[in-house]
A and B are shown apart, each in its own frame.
Chain A
Amino acid sequence: MDEEPERAKRWEGGYERTWEVLKEDESGSLRATVEDILFQAKRKRVFESHGQVRLGMMRHLYVVIDSSRTMEDQDLKPNRLTSTLKLMEYFVEEYFDQNPISQIGIITTKNKRAEKLTDLAGNPKKHIAAMKKAVNSMCVGEPSLYNALNIAMQTLKHMPGHTSREILVIFSSLTTCDPANIYDLIKTLKALKIRVSVIGLSAEVRVCTVLTRETGGNYNVILDESHFKELLMYHVKPPPASSSSECSLIRMGFPQHIIASLSDQDAKPSFSMSHLESSDGGPGLTLGGYYCPQCRAKYTELPVECKVCGLTLVSAPHLARSFHHLFPLDAFQEHPLEEHKGDRCAYTIKVFTCPACSSVFCTDCDLFIHDTLHCCPSCIHRQGTS
C-alpha cells in the first residue's frame, strides 16, 4: 500500500500550527528573528527606491508560471495553481495601472515543456481571460526552467535596447528538467541583459539563486499567501535600469479622444484597428475613438501600438501615473516610540516622521504612504490650507 502524496480534502491537509503564530517571542525565538529580518528588508526596499536612479519605464515582462505536478499542493488554498492565477490576475491589473506603457506575456511550463499562454501585449483583458481559462488545466509532470526561459528569451531579445527586458518566474517545483546545460543559458541571458527574478513557492533552489544573482534579479520564497502577494506586488514597480542600457528618444503619439457629435450627420461609425485581428469581435462599430496623429487609424483603447505606422499611442495621464516612480517620496526618519508618546497611530516600537512636515506615522502607515499613496498626506493637507 503506497501512500499517495495527494490529499483530497482540506481537513486532510497539513497541520497548520496557528497557535504558533500567536507565540510570544521571548529570547528571540525563530519566528521573531525571521520576522525582524523581513521587516528590515521591507524598510530597505523603501529606502532602495530613493536616490536618483534611472528606471526602466518601458517594460517587457514575461511571467513564467510553473504548472507542474507540485502546483497541486494544497499549502496555498485551494491549491497553489488557483491561488497563483488569482494573484496573477490582480498583478496584471496592477502592473498596467502602474506601468501603462509596458507589455506583459505569460508562459506556462509543465511536463518538461513550456508553452506561451499569451504573447507580449499591452492589454490586460486578454491575459486575464487566458489565466481564467488556465485554472482548470491539469498540473502534470515536471517543469522545465530551460525551455521556459528559452521561449521568453527568443521574443525578448528582439525588443529595443531602451526598454527593460524582464522575466518573472513563479516556481513551485524543486527540480527542473532541462534539455541542455542551463548555465550556458544563464550566460546568454546575462549577455542579453534580460533580468530574471524568481518567486519560489516551496524552498530555495540553487539554480534559481544563481540565475537571479547572475542576471541581477530578485529571488524570494514565499512564507504564506499574503507574503506571496507582497512579493508579487514588489515586481509591479519598475526596476532600476542598468546604466549601460541604451538611451533613445521615442516617438509617441498623444491622440485626442474625439467623439463625433450625434448632431453631425456626416459621422459614420467605424471599426477600431485593434479589433480587426481579434476574432471575438467585441463592440465592433463605434462613433468615437482615439485617432493616431500620424496615420489617422482609429483605436478605442489606449495605450496601444499603432497597427498601421507603429507609433506608440498613449495618453498624458498614463505617463503621469508613472511619474511618482521617478520622484519618489523621501524616506521618513525612524525614531524610538518613547519620543512620541501620545501621537496619532503608534502601535509599533518604532515611529517615523516625515522630513518635510515632521508628522508622525507608525510602521504600517509608513509603508502605506510609500507604497501606495506616494505622497505625505500631512504635507498635502498643509498645502491645501495655506
Chain B
Amino acid sequence: MKLNIDGLLVYFPYDYIYPEQYSYMLELKRTLDAKGHGVLEMPSGTGKTISLLSLIVAYQRTYPLEVTKLIYCSRTVPEIEKVIEELRKLMEFYTKETGEKNNFLALALSSRKNLCIHPEILHANIVVYSYHYLLDPKIADLVSKELAKKSVVVFDEAHNIDNVCIDSMSVNITRRTLDRCQTNVETLQNTIQRIKETDAAKLREEYRRLVEGLKEANVARETDIYLSNPVLPDEILQEAVPGSIRTAEHFVGFLKRFLEYLKARLRIHHVVQESSPQFLKDIYEKVCIDRKPLRFCAERLRSLLRTLEIADIADFSAVTLISNFATLVSTYSKGFTIIIEPFEDKTPTIVNPVLHFSCMDPSIAIKPVFERFQSVIITSGTLSPLDIYPRILDFRPVTMASFTMTLARTCLCPLIVGRGNDQVAMSSKFETREDFAVIRNYGNLLLEMSAIVPDGIVAFFTSYVYMENIVASWYEQGILENIQRNKLIFIETQDAAETSMALEKYQEACENGRGAILLSVARGKVSEGIDFVHHFGRAVIMFGVPYVYTQSRILKARLEYLRDQFQIRENDFLTFDAMRHAAQCVGRAIRGKTDYGLMIFADKRYARADKRGKLPRWIQEHITDGSLNLTIDETVQLSKHFLRQMAQPFRREDQLGLSLLTLEQLQSEEMLQKISQIAQQV
C-alpha cells in the first residue's frame, strides 16, 4: 500500500499494516527531518525492520540530497539475512508500483566468505552489516571509513550496544598472546632482514614517508572523507612518526622491549589495578619507553606490514593487538583501567595471569559515529528505561519513544511469583539463594508449570553456577524425576556444540508432542540470539533477577567510572542491566502478534516498582495488581486460564481493524487518534 507519512509518500510492500508501524514511521520521519539521533523501542515481531526500511528508502528517494545512504547494522548473520529478505520484498514492490527499473543498490556484508569489494560501498544506497564494521576500530577502518556524512545509521537490536562498544575497545592479554606475539616479532625481524638484502629501497621509501608524517590521513580527515578512528586520535595526524621507531629495525627492537616489559608485568601473585597514566609512568621508569612512540605504535605497525607486503594479516593478530593496546593506553588517560590478575575468578588455583585493559566508557567507541553521521537510530524490542542510553553513550537524541503492541487479544501474560505455597518468599538474592525452602519452591514452580504448559518451556537462571547448584539440589530432592514425568529436560552449557545439540533436541521434543524444558542462563547464547516462537516457548520462567556478577573488578571499576563521570548510581545501573536482560529473556517467547506465551518472573523483587518500572512498556502495561506477588498455586490457576483462552481459534479477521489495518482503516479519524497514543515520548 502507499502511505502518507506526514507528507511523505511511503511505499509499504504489504496489504495490511500494524498501527504501531505507522506510529513508528512517524517518529522516524521526525528524527530524519530534524537531522538528529533517535532512540526507539518497539516490541519484537511487530515489523520493525520493514517499517525502518520503507520509510528510509522513501525518504532517500524524495530527498536524495538530504539522505544519501542507509547503513543498517544488525547483530547476527541470520538477522542480516532477514533484513535483506525484507528489502528484496520492498524493492520488488517499488518496481511493480512505479514500473521503473530499480536503480537502488543494496549491499550486505555478512561473513568473510562474501566480503565486500571496497569501491562498491561508495555507491550503494543501502549497506547492511554487523555492528562491528562500524564500532570496532580494527574493522571499521577497513570497511566503513569512507561512508558519506549524509547517511542514516540504524543500530537494530541495540539493547547491548554499550557492551559492544566496550568490548571493541578493550584488550585482554594473556601469556599465550605474548608468546604468539614473540613469534610474530621474530618473523618480522627475519622478513626485514631478507628485504634489506634484496630490496633496501623499499624500506628507505617507507622511512621517507614516515618523515613526512601521516599527512595523507590528516588531509583526508579534514576534508571529511573518512570516519575517524578512535584508535587514531586527531593529534597524531598532525605529527610525524617519532624518530625512535622510524626505521624498521628500531621499531622491532622497540616492540621487543615493550613485550619484555609486559611479560614482566604478568609475573605477579596478587591483583594489580592501575590507571593509564600510572602504567605509562611505570613503563618509562622500567624500560625507558616514552609515551609518544607508544601512541604511534599501531600506525607504525600497519605501515610496516604494508611495506613488507605481508598478505596474511590474520597471523599477525597478536602483535596487532599489542600495538593497538600500546596506542590506546597512551592516548586515553581517562575512561580506561588496567587490571592484572594472576588467575581467573573461577579457577583461583590455576595460575593464568591476564592483563585486562578495559574500556569503561562506551561513548569513546561510538563517538565518531554520532559525530560523523547526521542521523543515528538506536532501536530494539527492549530499550527501557530509554533515558539511560543517551546518558551512557553520551549523545543527545531528538526523539525518544517507546511503542506498545496493539493486540486483538492479550497474548502475553506476565506473572510475578513471589511466594511458594508454603508462603516462603522466593528470591535469588544472595542471602537466601542457598536456602533449602527457596530451592524447593523454585522446583515446585517448575514442576507445576511442566504439568500445565504444553510443548516447550524455557527457564532462565542467573548464572551457570547457580543453575548447577539448583539442579543438583532438585535431583537430590527428587523434584527432577517428577518433572521428567511431564517433560524432557535439556540444559544449556558453556560448550557451544553441546548447547546447539541440546537446542536441536529440545525443538524436536516440542515438535512431536513429547514436550520439553530448556534450562538456560540469562546473558547466555540462548537468551540473546535464539527465538522461541509459538510452541517452542509457551512459557518463559525467569528464576531470580539476573544481576551481573558484582565481584568482578572490571565491573567495579566501570561502576565507579559511571558514578563519577555520568552521575549514574551503581544500583541504578545494575538494576537497569539486570532488567534489560530479564526483558530479553522473557521476550524470547513472544515473537509476533499471533504468538502467545506466559512470562513468569520468579522472584519477589520483581514486584517492586523500581524493578517493574524498568521493564519495556509493552510488557509493563500487562502487569496488573492481580499478577503481583502470587503463590505457585495462583500462578498455576492463572496460567491454565490464560492457556485455554489463547488456544481458542484466532484468525486474521479477528485482528483486522484492531491490530491490523487496511489503508482505509488507517485513514479513519478515530484510528489516527488511537495511533497517537501508541508512542510514548520520553
Hey, which bits of chain A sit against chain B, CB under 8 A?
Answer: 2-3, 5, 14-15, 17, 30, 33-34, 37-38, 40-41, 70, 75, 145, 174-178, 181-183, 200, 202-209, 219-223
Q: Are A175 and B513 in contact (CB under 8 A)?
A: yes
Q: Chain A residues with Cβ under 8 A from B614's Cβ? A: none
Contact A175/B514 with A34-B645, A202-B640, A203-B643 known, Cβ cut-off 8 Å: yes
Within 8 A of A (CB), among B634-649: 634, 636-637, 640-641, 643-649
Instruction: Fill in one digit per residue for B400-415: 1 if any A CB lies within 8 Å of its CB, else 0.
Output: 0000000011100000
Q: Chain A residues with Cβ under 8 A from B650's Cβ? A: 37
For A33, give the chain B residue with the smallest CB separation: B409
6 shortest interchain CB distances as A-B pairs: A207-B513, A221-B647, A206-B535, A204-B647, A203-B643, A176-B513
Give the distance in Å from the alpha carbon of A75 to the alpha carbon of B643 in the complex: 14
Give the distance in Å from the alpha carbon of A176 to the alpha carbon of B482 in the complex: 17
Give the distance in Å from the alpha carbon of A17 to the alpha carbon of B645 in the complex: 15
Listed stretches B276-284, B322-330, B444-452, B497-505; interface member: B444-452
- Identify the interface centre among B452, B454, B534: most chain A CB within 10 Å of its CB: B454
Q: Chain A residues with Cβ under 8 A from B643's Cβ? A: 202-204
Contact A3/B454 with A14-B637, A15-B637 known, Cβ cut-off 8 Å: no
CB of B511 closer than 8 Å to a CB of A: yes
How far apart are B572's CB and chain A's nearest CB, in angstroms?
33
For A29, give the chain B residue with the smallest CB separation: B410
How far apart are A193's CB and chain B's nearest CB, in angstroms?
23
Within 8 A of A (CB), among B379-425: 408-410, 421
Q: Chain A residues with Cβ under 8 A from B534's Cβ? A: 206
Q: Are A34 and B409 in contact (CB under 8 A)?
A: yes
Q: Are A183 and B513 in contact (CB under 8 A)?
A: no
Q: Chain B residues with Cβ under 8 A from A200's Cβ? A: 647
Q: Are B637 and A206 in contact (CB under 8 A)?
A: no
Q: Chain A residues with Cβ under 8 A from B448's Cβ? A: 5
CB of B137 closer than 8 Å to a CB of A: no
Give the distance in Å from the alpha carbon of A38 to the alpha carbon of B647 in the complex: 11
Q: Are A30 and B645 in contact (CB under 8 A)?
A: yes
Contact A178/B644 with A37-B654, A206-B454 known, Cβ cut-off 8 Å: no
State the main secondary structure of chain B at its contact with A.
helix
Q: Which of A14, A41, A205 contacts B455 (CB 8 A)?
A: A205
CB of B478 closer than 8 Å to a CB of A: yes
Q: Chain B residues with Cβ under 8 A from A175's Cβ? A: 486-487, 513-515
Q: Are A174 and B454 in contact (CB under 8 A)?
A: yes
Q: Chain A residues with Cβ under 8 A from B550's Cβ? A: none
Contact A30/B409 with A37-B648, A202-B452, A222-B644 known, Cβ cut-off 8 Å: yes
Give the distance in Å from the alpha carbon of A75 to the alpha carbon of B451 in the complex: 14
Q: Are A174 and B453 in contact (CB under 8 A)?
A: yes
20 further A-B contacts with Cβ under 8 Å, apart from A37-B408, A206-B455, are: A3-B421, A5-B451, A37-B648, A37-B650, A37-B654, A40-B653, A40-B654, A174-B451, A174-B452, A174-B453, A174-B455, A175-B486, A183-B512, A202-B454, A202-B644, A203-B646, A205-B454, A205-B535, A207-B513, A220-B649
Hey, which bits of chain B sit against chain A, CB under 8 A?
Answer: 408-410, 421, 444, 448, 451-455, 477-479, 482, 486-487, 510-515, 534-535, 538, 633-634, 636-637, 640-641, 643-650, 653-654
Q: Chain B residues with Cβ under 8 A from A205's Cβ? A: 454-455, 513, 535
Give the distance in Å from the alpha carbon of A202 to the alpha carbon of B449 in the complex: 12
Q: Which of A5, A30, A182, A204 contacts B512 (CB 8 A)?
A: A182
Q: Chain B residues with Cβ under 8 A from A183's Cβ? A: 512
- The 24 sampled A-B contact pairs (Cβ below 8 Å) are A2-B482, A30-B410, A33-B409, A34-B648, A40-B653, A41-B649, A70-B451, A75-B640, A145-B513, A175-B486, A175-B487, A175-B515, A176-B513, A183-B512, A202-B454, A202-B640, A203-B453, A206-B455, A206-B535, A207-B512, A208-B513, A220-B648, A223-B644, A223-B648
How far apart are A38's CB and chain B's nearest CB, in angstroms?
6
Q: Chain B residues with Cβ under 8 A from A17's Cβ? A: 637, 641
Q: Chain B residues with Cβ under 8 A from A221's Cβ? A: 644, 647-648
Give the distance in Å from the alpha carbon of A179 to the alpha carbon of B648 in the complex: 30
How far apart are A168's CB and chain B's nearest CB, in angstroms?
17
Q: Chain A residues with Cβ under 8 A from B641's Cβ? A: 17
Q: Are B511 and A206 in contact (CB under 8 A)?
A: yes
Contact A2/B644 with A15-B637, A37-B650, A182-B513 known, Cβ cut-off 8 Å: no
Contact A203/B454 with A14-B637, A175-B513 known, Cβ cut-off 8 Å: yes
- Identify the interface centre among A33, A37, A38, A177: most chain B CB within 10 Å of its CB: A37
How far apart are A163's CB and chain B's nearest CB, in angstroms?
28
Q: Are B454 and A204 in contact (CB under 8 A)?
A: yes
Q: Are B648 and A38 in contact (CB under 8 A)?
A: yes
Contact A15/B640 with A33-B408, A206-B513 known, Cβ cut-off 8 Å: no
- Identify the interface centre among A17, A177, A181: most chain B CB within 10 Å of its CB: A17
Q: Chain A residues with Cβ under 8 A from B646's Cβ? A: 203-204
For B409, give the chain A residue with the smallest CB separation: A33
Q: Chain B residues with Cβ under 8 A from A2's Cβ? A: 477-479, 482
Q: Chain B residues with Cβ under 8 A from A209's Cβ? A: 535
Give the distance in Å from the alpha carbon of A123 to the alpha carbon of B648 in the complex: 33
Q: Are A15 and B634 in contact (CB under 8 A)?
A: yes
For A143, give the chain B residue with the smallest CB separation: B513
Q: Chain A residues with Cβ under 8 A from B478's Cβ? A: 2
How far apart are A205's CB and chain B's nearest CB, in angstroms?
5
Q: Are B645 and A207 in contact (CB under 8 A)?
A: no
Give the distance in Å from the alpha carbon of A207 to the alpha carbon of B653 in the complex: 24
Give the distance in Å from the alpha carbon of A34 to the alpha carbon of B538 in the complex: 18
Contact A207/B511 with A2-B478, A202-B452, A202-B643 known, Cβ cut-off 8 Å: yes
Q: Chain B residues with Cβ under 8 A from A70's Cβ? A: 451
